[in-house]
A and B are shown apart, each in its own frame.
Chain A
Amino acid sequence: MSYKKSSEITKEYSIFSNILFVLKQVYRNQKAFVPMMVIQAIVGTFITFIWLFLSKIVIDQVTNNVSVSSFIYSLIFIVIAEIILMEVDSFLNFQNWWRIIHARMSFIPLRMKKLLNMDYENLEIPAVLDLSQRAEKATEGNSDGVEGFLRSIQGLFTSTCKIIMSITIISFLNPLILGFILILAVISYIITDRTKKMDKIKTWDTLSEKFREQGYIAGVEQDFSYAKDIRVFNLSEYLLDKHKKIDSEIHDKISESKKRWLKATGLNQIAALFQEGIIYIWLIYNVLYKSLSIGNFTLYLGTIRTFFNTVGSLLSNIANLRLQSRQINDFRNFLAFGKEGGGKEVPQQNQYVFEFKNVSFKYPGQDTYALKNLSLTISSGTRLAVVGLNGAGKSTFIKLLCGLYTPSEGRIYLNGIDINTFSKESYYALFAPVFQDIEVFAFPLSENISMKIPEKTNEAKAIEAAEKVGLKDKLHSLPNGIASQMLKIFHDDGIDLSGGEKQKLALARALYKDAPVIILDEPTSALDPLAEYQVYTNFDQIIGAKSAIYISHRLASTRFCDTIALFSDGILKEYDTHENLIRKKGEYYQLFEVQAQYYRNQEQKQS
């Protein structure tokens, strides 16, 4: 599974298939949307033409000298029809306005679900990340992706209705003029389309990277966590210069594109000049020599203009549809990517024994092994320390054990069964990890501990976990206790936790989960020696009979463990108890001595 280019994971769907896909999904959430859209198109068409007919009727009646009363009756009839149509249109407009946004947003959870469910290792492949980002784009704006696509479809309906209506009216006059208008419309479509293509190639494609760079620089400048470094290293002018430089590069490209569009507009205006001129001349000729009535003159003039505009917007609708369809492609490709879960449940047992058999692992797209030929057994209730230099393969080992990565070679067994045969979900349930980078979510504290939806959160259990890891005082200090909202994103009085409190929150999560295996990945690197000691002793009691795996650079902190696994260059070099490894005087011994000397020397001096 190594995807280097995004082309290897993308497939082209036809516009038609994309329309079906989008409408199907919309239908699931918004049944009324499509019928409403069709009705709106028809109503909109009638409203446009009622205006045109109104002046024709008035002028005809004036020239024919009809009676005042019949004149008033006919106008009242038209006005009532107009009011009704306008009410219907306005109702549908408001309805579709919120429905279209709701419909678009209902696509987002599909992408989230996919992202949160796909194999973890895919998240480290640039092509997949890229695709995911593009899929996100497809659900983001009001005029792009799904929502833009829906609007284009709606526009397509309306345009088609109006064109049918215009053609019917004009064909009474002269079909030749139709052909003429069509040719001009196609010319202007070609101009627009060519400009769009040029624009994409010459401006936007070259800019996408510049935009990212600009975003990065501005992000750094305005990121408060960079504030100290920027001040102490006096970087404000330096960064701002970079910012200005890239800004002016982008601006130049953008104004180039604007010039291009202005040129296209100029060409289109020339085409319009011909169109307007010829239509007027032709209609005036008819009035003067073919006795076309003034009423019909205004009707035809209006209709032809409407027709021309509608053909224009139809063509641009189609162009948009093509563009947006590509974004829908991205979205569908993302949803279709990779395999879906499956596999059997992990059987409930008292003992969980994990066995690595000749396991090797290579990161996707890499030539060297991150972990080579690892064989190791972790028996139930073990306390295992994983040590080694940076980059020796410690975290790869942990990710393989947790099932986040699948071995490139070899197998991992749980109680003798290949873990690949289990469903990811039930396998993940075996682990309660505490990683270095702890994230607090904008949910209530209780859910931050349970990591479950409110209905599945046991508050009493969450309180118990929080108290056990030393958050008792914090909990009492919060006005809403365990129900307090975290972060200020949704609630102005949301709680921000300090670094130490976050670490405790992560430990509480692990406790709440009550899984058979606990993993602690450098959980104390930011803690002072006494606090570190406390965490280890407390946790040791809490863990009880469970298995626990510690990763740490501080070899002292791994002295609680029964067994030590020392990784070096992706290989398990040493695996034994602390005492045996010290006696062996191998790599572990060396590592230990390097740290110990600073303390040892002192001891010797003392004694």
Chain B
Amino acid sequence: MKKRINKQAITLTLDTVYYLFPKAFRYKPSYFLLAALDIILSIIHPFINIFFPKFLIDELIGNMNLKLIITYLIVLVLGNIGLSYLLSIISTAMSNIDDLFERYFNQQLSLHVMKMKFEYTEDPQILDGLQRAKTGMDWYSGGVGGIVGCIKNIISSFVILVGVISVLALKAPLVLVVIVLFVFLISVFEAKRNNVGLKYYDQLSKMNRGFDYVFSQLSDFKYGKDIRLYNAEEMMVNKANQYNKDLSEIFHKEADELFRYDFVKNMFSGVYDGIIYIYIGLLALTKMITIGDFTMLLTSSQNFNGSLQSIIGGIQDIYKRCRYAHEYVAFMKNFSCLEKGKKKVQETKQHTIEFKNVSFRYPRSEEYALENISICIHSNEKLSIVGANGAGKTTFIKLLCGLYPVTEGEILLDGTNISEYDSAKYMKLFSVVFQDFKLFTFSLKENICLNKEVNQNRLDFLTERLGLKNKVASLPNGFNTSIYKSFDECGFEPSGGEQQKIAIARAWYLESPFAILDEPTASLDPMAEHEIYQNFNDLTENKMVIYISHRLSSCQFCDSIAVFDHGRIVESGTHEQLRSYNGIYRKMFDQQAKYYN
């Protein structure tokens, strides 16, 4: 069992290193050169303090050769200070690159999230994985810098250890026996202590997931109204106190348990120190070694202890860090991008989209969200989709846009299966206003034009038609005013209705042949909704339009209507046809109409 853990720890560490280091090396090769330099200097440094004070003291007691004394002194003082300055230059240069690495890997993560298959973004477990990848990489592991730092430490400590042991063995050979015994005891002991550490570390990493939630989100302003009116403050504070108590209890238990180990360890190292001092002291007392040698051995022995601890700590640390960083590695390796077809979309004005016996099941779901859908949509056609919540309307749109691949059947664009097209080019055919569209805290202009060229005439036209003209005129910087105040004091907070209008403008700006509107007027007041309906035909000229709405009033300016129910198209036809047919559409329409009479 223990062996398995160790083996797993090694694979995990290697996996992380194999993934991160080549990437880091390609990005900034100089970093590894700096690390090598750092190791060499860190090895030299302690030996200056081991050898030169000895020379100095021996000279002071012995020949008192002033010239030699001054030489030793200069080497000692300049060497110490010069080396530590060099080391700080290197560490500054390295930490500069650490910062670059951190940004680079975060950018890669962003890119990965933006490029991975859409279906992953709707999986809560992958969301959790993303959270762990983010925090694992920059908080706990310290990223590449943190891991390299660990390795650096282990290597230099190891060389120092070997050097120090040689010094001790040369002058006081019997010390070797004590050292071997001590190292053996300590490593057996540390292995046990390490398991305790890991046990609590597991518990804590589970607790940590909730930290931000408990201490930050529970008192978030956006819950302010509910918490006050439901008088739920006690519940929130109670949770925070409980969490604090639980967390402290783990820390407390860990501290107690670790102290039990450290108590014995302190005994060990105290006794070890005692034996060494008495031994080398006796050597000095019996004139086997000089006083200079004595101080040298004393410093060596201290360095021995320090290096040993830092190797042991380093090995534990590197595993911990890699384990956290591995969350990132796993995330980056696991979720693939959309596969790219090769075909280009034909540059014609007329397109046809056909669903042929399409069925679809969400990943991790056993039920079909769409079943056996067959429908053909042509350019210039305006289709309205209606149906109850969960009937499959939005799923239909997601398939149409290529966000999800179909489970069965096929979707054809101009006779070719859409999976054969280059997906980015295919998506360019669509301008979509999703139900849960998102605006950015950029300027109004950027929100509408996004990464497309700015065409002022079109901007003016769209804002006028969507009833935003007066709003734009009232803004301090017109189109250049930021949306939201987060980064611009003059920014404006658009109302829900204005947000919807901006989202529509953004979609329309694209001038793509297919337009899709998913519940675009849900938060508009009746007047604004009416205005948009009025301008609908102007805005959608020559386009294929798919319109999803619960307000059946919108169906009347569409050429045809498809009624979805439980993942199937159950009725289709014009408004008049469906009104005369005694089905779901008629029931829904009557339900809404009855209050308007």
Chain A residues with CB under 8 Å of B440's CB are: 220
Give chain B's interface secondary structure class: helix
Residues of A within 8 A of B421 (CB): none
User: Is the C-beta of B192 less than 8 angstroms from some C-beta in chain A?
Assistant: no
Min C-beta distance of A122 to chain B, whole Å: 10
- What is the CA–CA distance of A500 and B554 in the complex, to the nearest angstrom? 23
Q: B256 in the interface, Cβ–Cβ < 8 Å? A: yes
CB distance from B276 to the nearest CB of A (A): 10
Task: Decide yes or no whether B278 CB sits under 8 A from chain A.
Answer: yes
Residues of B with C-beta under 8 A to A601: 556
Q: In the complex, which of the residues B124, B224, B525 contacts A496, with contact meaning CB atoms closer than 8 Å?
A: B124
Contact of A112 among B60, B240, B441 (CB under 8 A): B240
Interface size class of B (residues with CB under 8 A): 35 or more
B430 touches A258 (CB 8 A): no
Chain B residue with the shortest CB-CB distance to A64: B285
9 intermolecular pairs with C-beta atoms under 8 Å apart: A115-B219, A220-B438, A233-B506, A294-B61, A513-B230, A528-B550, A598-B552, A602-B589, A603-B597
CB of B240 within 8 A of CB of A488, answer no
Residue contact A112 to B224, C-beta cutoff 8 Å:
no
- Given A105-B244, A228-B118, are A62 and B285 neighbors across the interface (CB < 8 Å)? yes
* Pair B496/A390 contact, Cβ less than 8 Å: yes
Are the CB atoms of B107 and A243 closer together than 8 Å?
Answer: yes
Q: Is the CB of B259 within 8 A of A91?
A: yes
Given contact pairs A98-B252, A111-B219, A116-B228, A284 touches B274 in the complex (Cβ within 8 A): no
Q: Which residues on the A side are within 8 Å of B230 (C-beta)?
A: 428, 432, 451, 509, 513
Number of interface residues of A (CB under 8 A): 156
At the interface, yes or no: B582 with Cβ under 8 Å from chain A?
no
Q: How far is the CA of A65 from the CA of B587 in the complex (A)?
A: 112
Partner of B248, one of A105, A250, A451: A105
**Contact in complex: A231, B597 (CB < 8 Å):** no
Judge whether B311 is part of the interface by a CB distance below 8 angstroms: no
Q: Are A288 and B218 in contact (CB under 8 A)?
A: no
In the complex, are the beta carbons of B210 and A490 less than 8 A apart? yes
Q: Kindly state the separation between the CA atoms of A531 and B222 in the bound complex, as whole angstroms.
A: 27
Beta-carbon contact of A86 and B270 below 8 Å = yes
Least CB distance from A157 to B in Å reads 20
Contact of A602 among B85, B134, B575, B595 (CB under 8 A): B575
Nearest-neighbor residue (CB-CB) of A226 within chain B: B438
Alpha-carbon distance between A56 and B109 when the two chains are bound, in angstroms = 58
The residues in B between 25 and 68 inclusive whose CB is less than 8 angstroms from any CB of A are 56-57, 60-61, 64, 66
A556 at the interface (CB under 8 A from B): yes
Stretch at the interface among B167-175, B177-185, B368-376, B526-534: B526-534
Q: How far is the CA of A424 from the CA of B526 in the complex (A)?
A: 35
Closest to A605 in B: B576
Known contacts: A90-B262, A269-B85. The answer to whether A106 contacts B229 by CB under 8 A is no
Q: Are B110 and A529 in contact (CB under 8 A)?
A: no
| Least Cβ–Cβ distance between A229 and chain B, in angstroms | 5
**Which residues of chain A are within 8 angstroms of B552 by Cβ–Cβ distance?**
529, 598-599
- Tell yes or no: A49 within 8 A of B by CB: no
Q: Is B298 an interface residue (CB 8 A)?
A: yes
| In the assembled complex, B213 has its CB within 8 A of some CB on chain A | yes
B593 cross-chain contacts in A, Cβ below 8 A: 599-600, 602-603
* B114 at the A interface (CB under 8 A): yes
Residue B84 at the A interface, CB < 8 A?
yes
A489 interface hit (Cβ, 8 Å)? yes
| Contact indicator B234/A94 (Cβ below 8 Å) | no
Closest-CB distance, B436 to chain A (whole angstroms) = 7
Instruction: For B285, give its contact among A68, A250, A528 (CB under 8 Å).
Output: A68
Instruction: Find out whether the CB atom of B60 lies under 8 angstroms from the CB atom of A123.
Output: no
Least Cβ–Cβ distance between B551 and chain A, in angstroms: 8
Q: A272-327: which residues lie under 8 A (CB-CB) from chain B?
A: 272-273, 276-277, 280-281, 284, 287-288, 294, 297-298
Contact status A596-B88, CB under 8 Å: no
Residue of A nearest to B227 (CB): A116
A190 lies within 8 A of chain B by Cβ: no
Q: Does A12 contact B (CB under 8 A)?
A: no
Cβ-based interface call for B96 (8 A): yes
Judge if A447 is at the interface, Cβ distance under 8 Å.
Answer: yes
Q: Report the bound CA distance from A243 to B105 in whole Å.
A: 12
CB contacts under 8 Å to B, within A191-246, are 209, 212-213, 216, 218, 220-222, 224-240, 243-244
B219, B436, B486, B529: residue with the most chain A Cβ atoms closer than 10 Å = B219
Q: How far is the CA of A528 from the CA of B432 in the complex (A)?
A: 21
Q: How many angstroms between the C-alpha atoms of A247 and B102 in the bound complex?
A: 10
With the chains together, A433 CA to B437 CA distance in Å?
26
Q: Which residues of A contact B213 (CB under 8 A)?
A: 442, 489
Q: Max chain A CB contacts within 10 Å: which of B77, B262, B529?
A: B77
Tell me, yes or no, whether A562 is within 8 Å of chain B by CB. Answer: no
Q: Would you list which residues of chain B between 496 and 550 have a CB under 8 Å from chain A?
A: 496-498, 506, 510, 519, 522-530, 533, 550
